Chain A
């Protein structure tokens, strides 16, 4: 039932396959320790239910012990697409499909023995970002947080509108804690999505703002 992590290379087609069922081949290939999905449903008077979710994959840091001049591209290209696939499958399952997703975000936390650049490598390249964006049917740049952290760190992942990032109503964050991760030699990679805006968004938008500059400081009313 339990075997050492797979080390032999093989080629598979993941384009039509869901990873919600069996995925031990992928888990073994990327040193996956766990995936935690958190789904938050908030009833709303007029919008129905707003569902927000995060999916977090915790993997062994593939660059442990390498120096700051080490080329990260090879492992980035092999690992980041699999992370995007695992995480987007879970977000889409939680939110009811890409057509329900309105906002998205991402994050990576590298454990204490890793380099901040290792976290960035797994989320800031097209091998992750483009696949996540395509799966969630967005066009925006995906907003993010990253950092180095100890196990159990609390973080807030920012999200904004998936096709219109300047849409103010969709600026929001989702708070999460991943217990027991990342260990010092691990990286936690997170994708987040929401089916709606902030619950009672009412602070206007770029289209409704009048022109505001520092000129307003000349007529401040206290």
Chain B
């Protein structure tokens, strides 16, 4: 899997709402920046070839890095596809909304749910938020969270940035009633 750069972000939260969080809450993002496989080809009707070329290798590259950087069992996860200005959002969606990509993360994390996602087109340095949900039950409210990301100098117009995010816990001071209490 060729990429221009790989960025890992580890956020450890130790205080929230004025109270200490112990152990610290960890969220990890791993992002790869690489050439859009459909760059310069105009409107490509069938994206299968590009998906087959990239999606599985990309999942295999990113998933183990998230698990390793977390350093503790994953409880929530999400993903992102940020397409450079010359591409289509569909190009990013093509690479992340396929089992060939997501199953690498689900298998590595013993997860079962669908990965929540952000798909967006933007200039280099665009800010985006990755939604995360619980890894086996997407209705578990304590684990609904998002993490803000901004990767310097990426994606260029002809590139795509794909990221996976994982968290070892729910929100640092989560204290909302569960969904079941309102049903």
* B150 and chain A: residue at smallest CB distance: A177
Q: In the assembled complex, how far is the CB of residue A67 from the closest CB belonging to chain B, in whole angstroms?
A: 25
A24 to B20, Cβ gap below 8 A?
Answer: yes
Pick the contact of B4 from A1, A2, A4, A42 — CB < 8 Å? A42
Binary contact track A85-109/B, C-beta < 8 Å → 1, others 0: 0000010001000000000000000
Q: How far is the CA of A20 from the CA of B24 in the complex (A)?
A: 11
A35 to B12, Cβ gap below 8 A?
Answer: yes
Instruction: Determine the main DSSP class of B at the interface with A.
Output: strand
Considering only CB atoms and an 8 Å cut-off, how many residues of chain B contact the other chain? 30
Q: In the assembled complex, how far is the CB of residue B1 from the closest CB belonging to chain A, in whole angstroms?
A: 11
Q: How many A-B residue pairs have CB under 8 A?
A: 90
> Which among A34, A90, A94 has the greatest number of chain B C-beta atoms within 10 A?
A34
Would you list which residues of chain B between 1 and 35 have a CB under 8 Å from chain A?
A: 2-16, 19-24
* A86 and chain B: residue at smallest CB distance: B12
Q: Is B173 close to A, CB under 8 A?
A: yes
Q: In the assembled complex, how far is the CB of residue A33 from the closest CB belonging to chain B, in whole angstroms?
A: 4
Q: In the assembled complex, how far is the CB of residue A54 from the closest CB belonging to chain B, in whole angstroms?
A: 10
B14 to A32, Cβ gap below 8 A?
Answer: yes
Pick the contact of A38 from B8, B20, B21, B153 — CB < 8 Å? B8
A179 to B150, Cβ gap below 8 A?
Answer: yes
B15 to A34, Cβ gap below 8 A?
Answer: yes
Q: Is A165 close to B, CB under 8 A?
A: no
Given A175-B153, A176-B152, also A33-B19 (CB < 8 A): no
Q: Is B46 close to A, CB under 8 A?
A: no
Pick the contact of A22 from B19, B23, B148 — CB < 8 Å? B23
Given A2-B22, A3-B20, also A27-B7 (CB < 8 A): no
Q: In the assembled complex, how far is the CB of residue A32 from the closest CB belonging to chain B, in whole angstroms?
A: 5
Which chain B positions have C-beta within 8 A of A154? 125, 150
Given A24-B20, A27-B20, also A180-B148 (CB < 8 A): yes
A40 to B7, Cβ gap below 8 A?
Answer: yes
Which chain A positions have C-beta within 8 A of B127? 177
Q: Taking beta carbons and an 8 Å cutoff, which residues of B are in contact with A?
A: 2-16, 19-24, 71, 125, 127, 148-150, 152-153, 173
